[in-house]
Structure 1
Amino acid sequence: AKALSSSKVQLEDNAKDILKLERTIADLQQQKC
C-alpha cells in the first residue's frame, strides 16, 4: 500500500512539472513572435 501511495504522489509531482514546462514553452514561443 505504501508503494502505491508513493507512486501516486510521484505521478502528481510529474503532472505539476509538466504543467510548469508547458507554461515555460508557451512563454518562450510568445517571446519568439
Structure 2
Amino acid sequence: MLPCFHLFYSYSTHLSSMLDVTYGKYSPYRYSSL
C-alpha cells in the first residue's frame, strides 16, 4: 500500500484506541471504523 495510507491507517487506529479509553470499549466510534 501507499506510505501515506499506512500513515493514515496507523493514525486512525491510534485515534480509535484513544476513543476506547475515553468512551469505553463498546463505543460506536470504535466499530464505525472497522
- TM-score band by shorter chain is 0.5 to 0.7
Q: Quick one: which amino acid aligns to residue 8 of structure 1? A: H
Task: Note the alpha carbon deviations across 1:1-33, whole angstroms, 9 max, x for none.
Answer: 7xx00000000000000000000013xxxxxxx
Question: Higher helix share goes to which structure?
Answer: 1
Q: Which aligned segments of 4 or more residues in structure 1 are displaced greater than 6 angstroms?
A: none
Please give the root-mean-square deviation of Cα atoms over the aligned residues, in Å.
Answer: 1.5
Gaps of 5+ in 1: 27-33
Structure with larger Rg: 1
Higher RCO, 1 vs 2 (CA within 8 Å, ≥6 residues apart) = 2
**TM-score relative to the length of structure 1:** 0.64
Percent identity, aligned pairs only, is 12
Which stretches in structure 2 are left out of the alignment for 5+ residues? 25-34
TM-score norm. by structure 2 comes to 0.62
